[in-house]
């Protein structure tokens, strides 16, 4: 039973979970509020590529954590 609740509420890999639906709603509000379009560059501090997958904005996003990880590994 607990597994079912976790799957339907908190699993961000499940597009039908509460977590995923709320993330989609927040992202929609972000896009609207900041007038994001295909020419907007986004610096995501601490985010993941999963957040942007399927939005059509993947090419416009730089993930700061990924950039810092790459810099440290090259150093």
Burial of 36 (0-12, 13-18, 19+ CB in 10 A): middle
Task: Quote the pTM value.
Answer: 0.67
Contact assessment for residue 60 and residue 40, using Cβ atoms and an 8 Å cutoff: yes
Is 41 found in the same domain as 70?
Answer: yes
Is 71 found in the same domain as 41?
Answer: yes
pLDDT digits (tens, 9 = 90+) for 20-33: 889 889 999 999 99
Beta pairing partners, 42: 61
Question: What pLDDT score was predicted for residue 67?
Answer: 65
- Give the three-class secondary structure for 42: strand
Is 73 found in the same domain as 42?
Answer: yes
What does the alpha-carbon distance between residue 13 and residue 55 come to, in Å, rounded to a whole number?
A: 15
Question: What pLDDT score was predicted for residue 49?
Answer: 87
Structural domains counted in the chain: 2
Per the structure, the complete domain to which residue 72 belongs is given by 37-75
Is 67 found in the same domain as 46?
Answer: yes
Is 41 found in the same domain as 74?
Answer: yes
Is 22 found in the same domain as 46?
Answer: no
Is 60 found in the same domain as 43?
Answer: yes
């Amino acid at each position: 039973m607990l597994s079912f609740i976790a799957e339907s509420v908190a699993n961000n890999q499940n597009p039908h979970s509460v977590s995923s639906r709320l993330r989609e709603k927040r992202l929609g509000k972000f896009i609207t509020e900041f007038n994001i379009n295909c020419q907007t560059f986004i610096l995501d501090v601490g985010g993941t590529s999963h957040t942007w997958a399927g939005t059509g904005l993947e090419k416009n996003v730089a993930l700061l954590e990924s950039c810092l990880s790459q810099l440290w590994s090259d150093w």
